[in-house]
Structure 1
Amino acid sequence: MRPVRFVALGDSLTEGVGDPTGDGWRGWAALLAAGLADEPVDFTNLAVSGAQTRDVLERQTPAGLGLRPGIVSVVIGVNDTLRCTFDIHAVAARLDKVYAAFTGQGAVLLTACLPDPGAMLGLPGALARPLARRQRAVNAVVHALSDRYGAVHLHASEGAWLTDRAMWSADRLHPGERGHRQLAVRFHALLAGTGLATGPAPSPEPEFPAPTRSASLWWRATAGTGWVARRCTDLLPQLLRLAADEMGHRARGTSARLDLRTSAAVSAALAALSVGEQPDAA
C-alpha cells in the first residue's frame, strides 16, 4: 500500500519559524504530518522564509508536483502584502494556477486565510489599516479559490487564538510552539472529519514554555526592528503614502471608499480568471 505523501508549500509560517527544534524549525505542517495516518507519512516541507506567491508558483510548485503528493498544503500571501509590488490580480492568478496544478493531479488541497501582519506587529492604526485591507483581499481570493477547487480550508484569520499571547513567538508575527500546535490540531480535525486523517491528533500542549514578555520586548527592540526593516524596506515609502491617504479619508469621513475600492479589485481579479471552466474532477 502506497504511504501517504504530504507536501507543504509556503513561507516562514509553514517552514516552522517560531517552533524551534534542534538546529532548525518544526512547525504545524510537520506536527500535522505525524497524525495523517497510523503508518509513517512521507512528508516534504518545501516552504521557505520570505516566500511570496510568485516563489510558490515558479519554484515550489514544480518541485511539489514532481513528488506527486496525496495531500498538499498551500499557505501563502502575507509576504506579498508587505511589498510595494502588491497586486491582488497577480496573487489571484498565481494561486489559481497552483491550486489547479495540484488538484489536477488528484491531490487533496489544504489552504488557510491568515491574520493581517500590521495588527500582529502592533503598528499604528494609519499604517496597520492599509496592510489589513491587503490581507483581507488576499483572504477573499483564497476563500473563493478554495471553494472552487474543493480545498480543505482553515479559517485562521480570526478567533480567540489571535489574542492569546501564549500562542505567539517573541516576534508577535509567527506562532510559537503552542500556536503551531493549534494550527495542526485544527487542520487535523478538518481532515479527520472527512476521513482524510486516520492517525492520532497532534497534542495541543507544548513541550517548551512560551517566551516571556521581557523576551518579546527585547526581540522587538533588537532583532525585530531589523526583521521589519528587511521585509518592508521597499514598502515603507508606499505605506507612508497609503497611511496619509488613510488619514485623509478618515478626516473626511470617506474611509468606506477604500474598502469598496479593495472589494472591487478582488471581484475584478476573480472575474479575470477562467471561472467559467470548472477544474477537472480528480
Structure 2
Amino acid sequence: MRPARFVALGDSLTEGVGDPTGKGWRGWAALLAGGLVERPADFTNLAASGAQTRDVLETQLPAALALRPDVASVVVGVNDTLRATFDIRAVAARLDTVYAAFTERGTTVLTVCLPDPGTMMGLPGVLADPLARRQRAVNTVVHALSERYGAVHLHAAEDDWTTDRAMWSADRMHPSERGHRQLALRSHALLTAAGVRMGGPPPTAAPEFPAPTRAAGLWWLATAGTAWVVRRCGDLLPQLLRLAVDEVRHRARGTSARLDLRASQACAAALASLPLVGDAAEPEAA
C-alpha cells in the first residue's frame, strides 16, 4: 500500500501566514501533514495568499487532481468576502465543482468554516455586520456542501478560540502558531474519527517558537499588515462604505432584519441553483 497523499488548497490561512518558522510560513496544514502522511514528499501545499474560490477552482484544483491525493483540504472564501465582486451564487458553484471533483475520485475532503473578518479585525458594527453576513453565507454553503459530499468538516467559526487573543496573530486575520496548532489538532481528531488512516500522532498544542513580542506585532501590522489589508480589500472600500450607510439607515428604521433576510434568501437561492450530484461538469486534471 502506497503512503497516503495529502494536498492542501486555499488561501493565506492554509499557506501558513501567522505561523513563521524562520524559513517562511508553516501553518496548520503542514502541522497536520506531520501526523497524516508518512513522508514529507506526500504532502503538497498549493494554497496561495490572496486566493479566492476562482483561484482554487481554476488553478489549484487541476494541480491537486494530478497528484491523486487521498485527503484534500479546501479552506477558502474569506478573500471572496473582501472583494467588491462578491457573489455567493458563484462561490457556491465553484466550491460545488471542487468538492465533487475530489469526491468522484475517492478523495476524502476536509473543510473548515471560519469567523468573519470584520469582527476579528474589530471593525465598527456598521462595517463589520455586512462582512459578517457574507461570511455567514460562505459558511452556510460550506456546511451544506460538506454534508452533500460527505466531507470531514471542522466548524471553527464560533468557538472559544475566536476570542482567545493568544490564538491569533497581530493582524487578527490569521491564527498564531498556537491557533494553527489547534486547527491541526482538531482536524487530526476529525479525520481519525472518520476512519482516515493516520500516519502518525497529532501535533502538540504547545508552541514550538516564542510568541512575537507586542512591539514586533505592532510593527508588522503597521508595515506588512497594512499592505496586506490594502491588497486584499482595497476595491471593497467604496462598496463597504455604501453598505455601511445602508446599515445605518436600516438600524434607524428598525429594519435591520431585512438585511439578514435578504442575505439568507440569496444564500438559499445559490444552493438551490446547484446541479444535482453527478450532473456537474468534470474539470480536467493537469
TM-score normalised to structure 2 length: 0.93
Residue 236 of structure 2 corresponds to 235
Q: Distance in 2 between matches of 1:17 and 1:226?
A: 14
1:142-193 Cα distance to aligned partner (Å, 9 max, x none): 0000000000000010111111111111211101110000000000010111
Superposition deviation, residue 258 in structure 1? 0.4
Q: Distance in 1 between matches of 2:221 and 2:202?
A: 34
Q: How many residues align?
A: 278
Residue 26 of structure 2 corresponds to 26
Superposition deviation, residue 138 in structure 1? 0.3
The 3-state SS of whatever aligns with 1:267 is helix
Residue 213 of structure 1 corresponds to 214
Residue 248 of structure 1 corresponds to 249
Runs of 4+ with >6 A deviation = none
Superposition deviation, residue 197 in structure 1? 4.2
Residue 124 of structure 2 corresponds to 124
The 3-state SS of whatever aligns with 2:228 is helix
Q: Distance in 2 between matches of 1:271 and 1:16?
A: 34
* Alignment of structure 1 residues 157-236 onto 2, 5 Å: 157-198=157-198, 199-236=200-237
Note if contact 2:152-2:194 (Cα within 8 Å) is conserved in structure 1: no
The 1:106/1:277 distance shift into structure 2, 3 A limit, reads: closer
The 3-state SS of whatever aligns with 1:74 is strand
The 3-state SS of whatever aligns with 1:182 is helix
1:15-34 Cα distance to aligned partner (Å, 9 max, x none): 01111123211110111011
Question: What is the Cα-based RMSD across aligned positions, in Å?
Answer: 1.5
Q: Distance in 1 between matches of 2:266 and 2:97?
A: 19
The 3-state SS of whatever aligns with 1:157 is coil
Name the aligned partner's letter for residue 231 of structure 1.
Answer: R
Superposition deviation, residue 124 in structure 1? 1.1
Q: Distance in 2 between matches of 1:217 and 1:252?
A: 39
Name the aligned partner's letter for residue 220 of structure 2.
Answer: W
1:65-100 Cα distance to aligned partner (Å, 9 max, x none): 000000000000000000000000000000000000
1:264 matched to 2:265? The reply is yes
Q: Distance in 1 between matches of 2:249 and 2:217?
A: 34
Note if contact 2:111-2:153 (Cα within 8 Å) is conserved in structure 1: yes
1:183-233 Cα distance to aligned partner (Å, 9 max, x none): 000000101112214321111110112233343333333333222122111
Q: Distance in 1 between matches of 2:175 and 2:58?
A: 27
Q: Distance in 1 between matches of 2:35 and 2:227?
A: 36
Name the aligned partner's letter for residue 176 of structure 2.
Answer: G
Residue 283 of structure 2 corresponds to none
Residue 40 of structure 1 corresponds to 39
Superposition deviation, residue 277 in structure 1? 5.2
* Alignment of structure 1 residues 16-95 onto 2, 5 Å: 16-37=16-37, 39-40=38-39, 42-95=42-95
Structure 2: gaps spanning 5 or more residues: 281-286
1:16-64 Cα distance to aligned partner (Å, 9 max, x none): 1111123211110111011115x33610000000000000000000000
Q: Distance in 1 between matches of 2:53 and 2:105?
A: 20
Q: Distance in 2 between matches of 1:166 and 1:46?
A: 27
Name the aligned partner's letter for residue 210 of structure 2.
Answer: P
Q: Distance in 2 between matches of 1:247 and 1:197?
A: 51
Q: Distance in 2 between matches of 1:197 and 1:144?
A: 25
Name the aligned partner's letter for residue 184 of structure 2.
Answer: A
Name the aligned partner's letter for residue 258 of structure 1.
Answer: L
Name the aligned partner's letter for residue 228 of structure 2.
Answer: W
Residue 115 of structure 1 corresponds to 115
Note if contact 1:35-1:197 (Cα within 8 Å) is conserved in structure 2: no
TM-score normalised to structure 1 length: 0.95
Name the aligned partner's letter for residue 13 of structure 1.
Answer: L
Note if contact 2:72-2:109 (Cα within 8 Å) is conserved in structure 1: yes
Q: Distance in 2 between matches of 1:160 and 1:278?
A: 39
The 1:206/1:275 distance shift into structure 2, 3 A limit, reads: same
Structure 1: gaps spanning 5 or more residues: none
Note if contact 1:6-1:43 (Cα within 8 Å) is conserved in structure 2: yes
